Structure formats: C-alpha cells, structure tokens
Structure 1
C-alpha cells in the first residue's frame, strides 16, 4: 500500500518540480506571458501551492498587472501570514497600484500598504528591502496622510544596524529628498567609503547631477572608474560632459573608449554614445562630425525621437 501511494504521488511531485523550474526559467528569460499561462492552471489545480501562487504573482508583477498580482500575493499572506516576504511582495504590488492611479484613489491603498511593509519588517528583523520601502514611503507621503521624516529616519537607523552601506544610502536619500544637500552628500560619501560599490558611486553621481554640479559628478565617476574599471563608466563621463557642455575633450575621449571596448554587458547601446558624441561636436562647432555621429546613432536606433531632434538642432546650429 505504501509503495502504491508513493507511486501515485511521485509523478505529481515531479510535475510540480518541473513546472517550478520551467516557470522560474521563463521569468529569468523575461517571457512573462508564457510564465503566466503556465502558472494559471498549476494554481487552479493546487490552490494552496505557495510556490506556484508566488510565481504567478511574480509573472503578473513583471507585466505590471498590479490588480492580479495583488490577488495572488494576498493569497500568500492569508495562507502563511508568518512569512515576511509574502507581506513585502503584497505591499509592493499595493504600492505600484497606488502609483498607477490618481492621488485621490491612491489614498485607499495607503493603510494596507503601510501594514504590509511594517508586518514584513517586524516578522523579519533582517529584511532590508522592507525597511527600504518604509524609508521611501514615509518620506514621499504628505504629512496629512502619515508621512514622517522622523519615522523614515527610524527605519534608516534599523537599516544601518543591518548594513552600514544601506543605512548611509537611506540617510542620503532622506536628506536629499528633504533638500538638505550637505547632509545628503555626507552620507552618500560615507556609503562609498564603507561599500565602494558601483551603486554607491552612482547615487552620489546622480545627486551631483541633480544639484547641477557636473564637475563633481565627473570627478566622482573618475574615482569609480579608477577603483572598479568598468567600461560603462566611460559612457557616464561622456554623458555628463555632453549634457552640461563641460570637459568636452575628456567626454569625447571617454565616449570613443566606450565604443571601442563595448560589449552588451555595458548596458547602454552604442547608438547613445554616438548621440553624445554628436552633442559634443555640436558644442565644439564641428558640424560635420556632429552630423556624422548623429547619423550613426539614427542608423542604429532609428526610432529614438531625441536623435531626430538632435539632428535638426545640429543642422539649424542650435
């Protein structure tokens, strides 16, 4: 009898395992529609299968189908209310839904949104993502509906206890959002000192750009390049140079190095480097070279509107 039960269960178990693997592979390959199609009947046959429900929720989430994702993640919370990550994912779907509607409609999601993230944080004392969500939530909410800088800082302190880098980045974010640039810069620099990752350098670079400090932005990217040796950083220097009309010779050299050493892992297509070179040559008054590079950009990505606009500006000497 025991062997018969095992024989009957084994094919079902094997099917579920294979389905999970197939689903995860499809999500990794960004084939979200097919993942959804595979997950729906699996959940229908196994309505208490937490893994299947989660993968279906993920498939919906990647497609920005927030209503459907919310339904699946809420099932997870109901089935296993002690799992922090289920509350976190449910809160994330609620948050994205709130962002997709008008401000009046968004208010109806706030209570559940807060509760979901707070529950995730309380269930898992090491849940970094939930605390990051709470940092951003309490900073972005108006005070009239519960926004609070002090609460945001409280979660930033909790982050700092878990990860100094995340804590410093969170504080940098809070002070930047609250228009306290000196403190924001201080904490972004502290994050670089402790972590030194590309993300840390990028946060400070983005901050300098928002503060209209392109020279500082370029200097920071150069420090990142010296330490990390990433070809993508050549493009970033060229981008800042072209956007702000500063250090044009350096920008030109960096963009040409980027193109020379380009690989798909660098992220930004070569067409954008050619576009930035066209901008630089326009500023230099070299119309011939500017047209050469903007035509290269358009040839590679003809559907980009800003490339067409830049070509018109070069022709009209604007």
Structure 2
C-alpha cells in the first residue's frame, strides 16, 4: 500500500476509534442514568491506571452509596478525600457515606461513626462556606443527632445565619426542622410553607407533604404531593418521593405509577433516586396492583442495571 494511503487509512481508523470512545457516556453520566454496573466497570479501569484519581474514587463511592453498600462507600470516599483534602464536595460525600454506614451497624458503633459524620460535614462547610448542600446536611445533623455525638439545636440555630444568604428555601427548611424537634408543629408548618413560597420547588413541596404525613394529615399530604408533581417540570427525583408518599398513603396509585414512569423516561435522572431502585419501586407498585408480569419486567430492568443490588434479585425471586 502507498505510504500516504496507508497513513490515511491509519488516521481514519484512529479517528473512528476516538469517535467510538467519545460516544461512550462518561462514568458520572452512567451513574446518573442508573447504569451502575457499567459505571463501576469504567471507574475500576480508570483506577487501575491512575490509583490516586480522587474523582474516580468519589464516583465509585457514590456508586456504592447508591447501592446502600456502606463499607465500600466509606472506603472509596476516604480515598477521594485523602487525595483531594481541600475539596468541600469530597468531604460532604464522605459525611454522607459515614451516615449510611452508621445506619447499618449496631447502636454502639453508630455513635462512633456519627462523630465522623459531623466532622466531615463541618469540614465541608469550612472548606466552602457557600456549599448549601453541606450546610443543609450539617444543620439536619445538628437537629437530629444527640449531643453526645455533637448534635444540638443551638448549633443548628447558629447555622441559620450562615445559610440565609445562600438559600432562603433551605433556611426555612432548617428552621422548620428545629421547630419540629421542639414539638412546635405550628411553627414547623409555617416554616415549611415559607420554604415552598421561596421558590415553589418540587423538593420544598415534598418536605411539606412529609410533614403532613407525619402529622397524620393525609388529605393535606396528598394535595401537597400533587402540587409537587405539577411543579416538577424537569421530572427529577422528587417524582420518586412523590410516588412513595402516595403509596404510603394508599392514595392515587395511577398517579404514583405515572410519576415513576415519567422519572425513568426523563433526562433528569440522578443518583438521588437511582434508576435501578426506581424500577424496583415501580415493580412493587405494579405487583400491589395485580400486574405480576409488569412487576417482573421492572425487577429484571433493575437487575440489568445493577446485578449486585440484592433487593432487585430478591424481588425477582418473589414474583
């Protein structure tokens, strides 16, 4: 073959290979789509070549977190944080991973791990005082955790002033949580409603609906869920929360089903509601409605995305 023609063929082949790889979604996109097995495979390949890649460790932590694998999530987030110690995001995720692990162990161990949750969230806020997610998580920790591990309403209240300039909605949410903890339900309702008024976000409606659900006000909870669904133009993870509340309330299963299907068809899917978990949730709903074949399809879809997710495999065997 002529040298020039040979070079052109080689170039064309190289270009085709580059396009092939460029067409593959990056690991974070796979994670958001719920394609957890593919995401993990991609990330392990990255880490085999670059063991100190902090972002790859973080994404693998998030993949394990999505599957409720606390020990593995903590291990990967610790590696991410150690390789990028100045990252507020990595500390925030480390706190979340510790929180997951704490929920999976006995009480004595949970107390020890809870202190690590607090330290990670506090460090995330120190590293980036504008990190709203970290501040909101830290505030909720202060409200819910006992003082022996660093919780306290005084600490939560002190955080309000720092959160206020960053997010009016999250500030009112934190004030609502503080009021709830004080058993001041009237103030809590007012603050949740102010959070809704601040932005009319589907997430704020969900918080208010969950409050009504806890207060055994089913009609208000159901109505607020409907408002959340109507406000959710992006079709994001709040649709999954909405469906879950309706199912718990034994209300409008058809609306719950539509919400789950809308989320699964949406480009706004995220690991906040991993697609494989949503397929299981939809399968459970269909099974309750007498559609065993439909339920089986959803469980199979979950297993295809996350073969190691035990609840999906168990659900398949139970249909």
**Same-fold call, TM > 0.5?**
yes
Distance 2:64 2:232 in 1: 36
Q: Match of 1:98?
A: 102
Report what 2:262 is aligned to: 265
Q: Quick one: which of 99, 109, 131 aligns to 2:135?
A: 131
Encode CA deviations 1:122-158: one digit per residue, 9 max, x unaligned.
Answer: 1111101111111121122122332201112222332
- Is residue 177 from structure 1 mapped to residue 174 from structure 2 by the alignment? no
CA distance in 1, matches of 2:283, 2:150: 45
Tell me how far apart the structure 1 counterparts of residues 24 and 115 of structure 2 sit (CA, whole Å). Answer: 33
What are the within-5 Å matches in structure 2 for residues 116-195 of structure 1?
A: 116-195=120-199
Q: Could you say if the C-alpha distance between residues 20 and 213 of structure 1 is closer, same or farther in structure 2, counting changes exceeding 3 Å?
A: same
Q: CA RMSD in A?
A: 4.1
**Kindly tell me: are residues 264 and 120 of structure 1, through their superposed partners in 2, closer, same or farther at Cα, counting changes over 3 Å?**
same
Q: Please list every run of 5 or more consecutive structure 1 residues that lacks an aligned counterpart in the other structure.
A: 1-10, 244-250, 276-293, 305-318
User: Which whole-Å CA distance do the structure 1 matches of 2:56 and 2:28 have between them?
Assistant: 10
Structure 1 residue 84 and structure 2 residue 88: aligned?
A: yes
Q: Is the 8 A contact 1:259 1:273 kept in 2?
A: no
What's the offset of the Cα at 1:271?
A: 8.7
Tell me: higher relative CO, structure 1 or 2? Use CA pairs within 8 A at least 6 residues apart. 2
Aligned in 2, Cα 1:61/1:271: closer, same or farther, shift over 3 Å? closer
- Asked whether the equivalents of residues 132 and 156 of structure 1 are also in contact (C-alpha less than 8 Å), the reply is no
Match of 1:66 in 2: 70
- When the two structures are superposed, what TM-score results if normalisation uses the length of structure 1? 0.67
| Gap regions ≥5 residues in structure 2 | 1-14, 265-280, 300-319
- Please tell me whether the aligned partners of residues 142 and 151 of structure 2 are also in contact (alpha carbons under 8 angstroms): yes
1:312 alignment partner in structure 2: none
Rg comparison, structure with higher value: 1
Q: Going by fraction, where is helix more abundant, 1 or 2? A: 1
| Correspondence list, 1:236-275, <5 A | 239=246, 243=250, 258=255, 264-265=261-262, 272=285
